[in-house]
Structure 1
């Protein structure tokens, strides 16, 4: 299969073409829009590539960043990898991945990290890149464990989750959309400090910015009692997935089982094929937070993984 491709670095003048391709590709996600990738550009050096055919039509994008001679796809995003159109033949993906490796090796990059996008975010099963990674001798180095809920699942949430939802309703907990990201972030920040001695990945100012940039993709659901937010969840919405990006229960929220009510409301109201509860593993996938995973499992959750691959390019230097 002979194909002539041109690989070049993304530049600012490509912004509209880049975003348009993201919307049309098999892996449509607002993560890959330049305004999302660049909101934290002070922390990451962009190394993104555009792959074109001989007629200068875009055939693939590779969102990426670089640090200390290591290229990652993209260090500021949960997952990424090669973005390409629907019905792309697997050999083209194998070829393009190999050309990308050569491109970076010629720039003295000594290692690449590839974060595989889970299939639930794609318009097709779309695992051509997984086979390309295998054929190009990449090594699986990390696997994060996640929990998903299928919209058409015949499973039923565990009795304990339904009982807690009843407790919340009996205590007049209201589950409502909210725009009060400040109240939510303050609850989240306090909870993470008290329980894990860390701060949220996103600052309040960053979340406010992202909600302004992507009002249709980022939504807040709160659990309220007498007008006070006691817990809630921040949702990242894509064409196929409702992702629970952040969730929190205050002390009073735990007393009234607010988060159970919020999660069941999200699952019941969701119109997309999947709800993604996010990772329950730590230490680069080597430790399973069993309690957290079981909590999600009881909401008729099923297993999903997010894989990371690496390749040493030193031999190509």
Structure 2
């Protein structure tokens, strides 16, 4: 490794168990780069699918960092079931301390768990409450390789670009159709459209089942919101938004054939960007790539860029121990 492994007696590891839930969640909320997706009520909704190996990292008996993750064979993923899952750091931590925390975790994983490699999904910088890219420097110094780079489309809401002509045209069309936007809990009516869209285009299902997204919304009612565009009582389209301190992130988007024709999503995103989430720092439409970034969905990207969004990276690193 480019940085020597730390075995300082001041540092020690506690492997996560259910008894640590309150302590874990409290640290996530206070950390400089944690989001609600890294709290246990979100991470554990699919706990049966993954062999959890999340770590609490202490320095002088004080909880200083968390490393969410799971084991698969001799590989540690941070985290295989999440969009991101990098090391979570206290607000006061320095680079040298972050290096010690990270290397202590790696030493534990290697010696105690038999881990031979790490797959690390870094938290995109827009989700940080305070700068927290110490991990990227440490990874490179340790010899990690960038193995996946997915493009997400993001609008900085304090300096928005205007909608492109096509999006403005569709917005005007929607405004003449007497459509309404509803924020409610009728996930079922939206999910049927979403499932149909994903099956027709990609022959896949949503990552979350209807039961799972409904349960997650109940666990995080302020962070997970459903917006529907309706013609009377008929749902034409909508989106699910994950709200963190800095970002409104679109988790799912879908519209029916009628909704596409009348500009339902243009009306919805105009409302979300300029009003509902106008005071956030960023509006994140999510990724437009497949197969670890090797395939770019240019049509989807064109739509997002039409609203004024531009590219940031969702990066994955691999480190051999």
Question: Which TM-score band applies after superposition, normalised by the shorter structure?
Answer: over 0.9
Aligned counterparts, 1:258-273, within 5 A: 258-269=264-275, 270=277, 271-273=279-281
Residues of 2 paired with 1:51 and 1:303: CA distance? 33
Quote the residue 2:259 is aligned against: 253
Please state if 1:135 is matched with 2:138.
no
**Of residues 187, 203, 208 in structure 2, which corresponds to 1:202?**
208
8 Å CA contact 2:139, 2:319 repeated in 1: no
Aligned to 2:24: 18
Deviates more, 1:203-212 or 1:265-274: 265-274
Cα deviation, 1:216-258, whole Å, max 9, x if unaligned, reads 0000111111121100000001111000000001011111111
- 2:3 matched residue in structure 1: none
The question of whether the paired residues in 1 share the 8 Å contact of 2:32 and 2:131 is answered with no
- In 2, Cα distance between equivalents of 1:189 and 1:6: 46
- Larger deviation: 240-249 or 88-97? 88-97
Instruction: Give the Cα separation in 1 of the matches to 2:52 and 2:217.
Output: 23
Residue 189 (structure 2) aligned to one of 172, 183, 191:
183
Contact in 1 for aligned 2:32/2:130 (Cα 8 Å):
yes
- 1:239 matched to 2:245? The reply is yes
In structure 1, the gaps of 5 or more residues are none
- Which of 306, 312, 315 is the matching residue for 1:298? 306
Q: Structure 1's 21 and 92: CA in aligned 2 closer, same or farther, altered over 3 A?
A: same
Question: Which residue of structure 2 aligns with residue 288 of structure 1?
Answer: 296
Deviations 1:147-197 (A, max 9, x none): 001111142111211110110111111122121001011110111112211
What corresponds to 2:169 in structure 1?
A: 163
In the alignment, which residue of structure 2 is the partner of 1:36?
A: 42
Query: 1:86 aligns to what SS in structure 2?
Result: coil
State the 4+ residue runs in structure 1 displaced beyond 3 angstroms. none
Question: Secondary structure of 1:114's match?
Answer: strand
Q: How does 1:220-239 map to 2 (within 5 A)?
A: 220-239=226-245
Compute the displacement of 1:277 (Å).
Answer: 0.4
CA contact (8 A) 1:94 1:136 kept: no
Say which SS state the counterpart of residue 248 (structure 1) adopts. strand
Matched, 1:216 2:211: no
Select the residue among 97, 103, 107 that pairs with 1:98.
Answer: 103
SS in 1 for 2:46: coil
TM-score, length-scaled by structure 2: 0.94
CA spacing shift, 1:45–1:15, aligned 2, 3 Å:
same
Displacement of 1:125 after TM fit?
A: 2.5
Distance 2:34 2:97 in 1: 19
Matched residue, 1:68? 73
Match of 2:197, SS?
Answer: helix
1:3 is displaced (CA, Å) by 7.7
Question: 1:109, 1:274 → 2: CA distance?
Answer: 36
2:84 to 79, 85, 100: 79
Q: Which whole-Å CA distance do the structure 2 matches of 1:154 and 1:206 have between them?
A: 34
In structure 2, the residue matched to 1:278 is 286
